[in-house]
Structure 1
């Protein structure tokens, strides 16, 4: 760990949930994308997340995951203590998960600064990421709810946006700005205007705040949720009976949007090589950075024969996969499912999962 990287009082919260339906059939409910090595690094996305956060927080981690994935998380992160992993009985979206982490940390350390970072994102410039988190923590110590706003590289319609206001005079956070509003995923023309204006950042869902500050902001609109989260934090035996009654809501809607409207959210702009691997097209871009058009292989290189073809392919079935004369193809071959599409239609893979679910074929999802 490099000297000066550690951030005193910062706790890393890693929400490890979701099923990554746009990465089916590699990612499934029983084995979501954060448990997989999708980048060829030899590490899962979850382990990569731990690796880049540990210099900042040392052993101050809290991973919130589904009960079905608890054993896999512990297996991939054996360095975590027993009470560093919290298992949700059922998915309730991001606010209950992060809110419970805040309630637990509030009891452990009343001065705790919580940094929430998803388990399934890719960040290539780790040094820049560390610098941005340090600024965010400094701003959070002044009572701000802080988000990290990714510098947009193109007019993406798959991300929400953050409108950036004037700069804030915060010691240790020279690049922090006021957030004017959070904007839902836009249409292509609106996305183009946002990027051209220079006033907007992508919303990557990364938040830094005092644990108590976050709960106080949440209590302004959802006091019952905060009460129940604090009860669970004080007596984990109450998880089973209280958790199903918690409102299913995202942190953006529960806290970030109303707090921004009240002028209580700051953003630290970041250029850190970020991607959320939302589909196979974005994964192909990550794997192919700096290369000419090519065929990117996720797994099964010895089983793949490609002739004059580009795109992305994975072979996990044990049989040979041959691709001839196709551009921007996506081929994912597993033991029980085969996906063939194009990078252009990668976002629509989720519709396959919806169709299979509708047919009752949940064992494939």
Structure 2
């Protein structure tokens, strides 16, 4: 077990001292890392066999490994759970050395974040009736890890009053690809961190509305990071998603039996698809937000990834193992891994991603549309490229 003093020693990443976290809270705090999804907008690197969360997109560590590293000074590995598909469970075992086998929760199939989180909460409640869970996607970049942990700790404290808590990312521009959270009444400061009730959630707005949100200073990006007591979220599921709650009951009863996967598989076939935002957060009444400015990005496409790679004096960013030849080229991201020369002439504002069996070339401002290429490959039955 980790020495409890480490839990209060959150100050590894920045110079200012951070508020220590009560030991009694830390002892029942768990991380639930959602490691599903394919990340199709990062094709052709991110594919069904190797989704982006299992890739080292920015350094020597994969996104999953970075997520585990980020949380561990607060939550020890024995209280880190990873929800993943059966296809990628082995990858989790390989990439997260020392993760207990029982901490890998195999999801029979994609059903959205609400069933995924409901399953994790069901497992945790069986394990620890006092469990508080911090739910984190496996494919985010956060540069201020200490600030992230401080916010998680504050949110966990708020969650003890049966709030459903989310981290609100302070926006620095009017992004139309994210949902927004409007803050309501202040809840004061918790562990030195301000917190607010949530007034409303708004799904991806148009540019003018997003600009209004940013200018108002009342709105935050919805980063999909949640903190709550396992019992609280399951009560909300029972009230707002009763069909899902009903399917989880036999799973809870069978979790420690040899029939676990059979029972789970049968239940999963009947579980309705829905997200935690639409199914729970937008309808619940006791919801809180902890605003954060932690260098967050969801690395949603090649344009956002390219902005994280240092560029040259012309704004060109080169990534991967090759040495491309860039002539009269500016503001262009080039990834090479195929062992062949990539040359560009007269490009500006482009993404070039070269892999052994597929090449992507697109303008940065169309990076969101890479998913359309993936959809076409599916329609054409070209599974070998997916």
TM-score interval (norm. to shorter): over 0.9
Residues 174-227 of structure 1 deviation map (CA, whole Å, 9 limit, x = unaligned): 411010111100111111111011110000000000001000011102123113
> Does residue 1:248 correspond to 2:273, yes or no?
yes
Contact 1:100 1:230 in 2 (8 A): no
The answer on 1:77 being equivalent to 2:96 is yes
Deviation at 1:170, TM superposition (A): 6.3
**Offset of residue 3 of structure 1:** 4.2
1:45 Cα shift?
Answer: 0.4
Pairwise CA distance, 1:353: 0.6
Alignment-derived partner of residue 74 in structure 2: 56
Q: 1:295 to 1:234 in 2, by over 3 A?
A: farther
Matching of residues 1-365 of structure 1 within 5 Å: 1=6, 3-5=8-10, 7-39=26-58, 41-59=59-77, 60-169=79-188, 171-172=190-191, 174-235=193-254, 236-237=260-261, 238-259=263-284, 262=285, 264-288=286-310, 293-302=314-323, 304-309=324-329, 310-365=331-386
Contact 1:136 1:173 in 2 (8 A): no
What's the offset of the Cα at 1:231? 2.1
8 Å contact kept, 1:177–1:268: yes
Task: Provide closer, same or farther for how the CA distance between residues 293 and 247 of structure 1 changes in structure 2, counting only shifts above 3 A.
Answer: farther
Aligned to 2:356, the other structure's residue is in SS state coil
CA deviation string 1:317-341 (max 9, x = no partner): 2211112231221011112111001
Q: TM-score, normalised by structure 2?
A: 0.90
Moved more, 308-317 or 9-18: 308-317
Contact 1:25 1:339 in 2 (8 A): yes
Contact 1:337 1:364 in 2 (8 A): yes
- Structure 1 95/2 Cα, relative in aligned 2: closer, same or farther at 3 Å? closer
Question: Is contact 1:104–1:230 with CA below 8 Å preserved after alignment?
Answer: no
CA distance in 2 between partners of 1:233 and 1:172 (Å) = 34
Query: Is the CA contact (8 Å cut-off) linking 1:96 and 1:246 kept in structure 2?
Result: yes
Q: Which runs of 5+ in 2 are unaligned?
A: 1-5, 11-20, 255-259
Which sections of structure 1, spanning at least 5 residues, go unmatched? Answer: none
Is the contact made by 2:322 and 2:337 (CA closer than 8 Å) also made in structure 1? no
3-state DSSP of counterpart to 1:203: strand
Residue 16 of structure 2: aligned partner: none
Bigger Cα displacement from structure 2, 247-256 vs 317-326: 317-326
1:283 and 1:82 map into 2 onto residues whose CA distance is 32
Residues 145-175 of structure 1 deviation map (CA, whole Å, 9 limit, x = unaligned): 0000000010000100001112014653641
Q: Which runs of 4+ in 1 moved over 6 A?
A: none
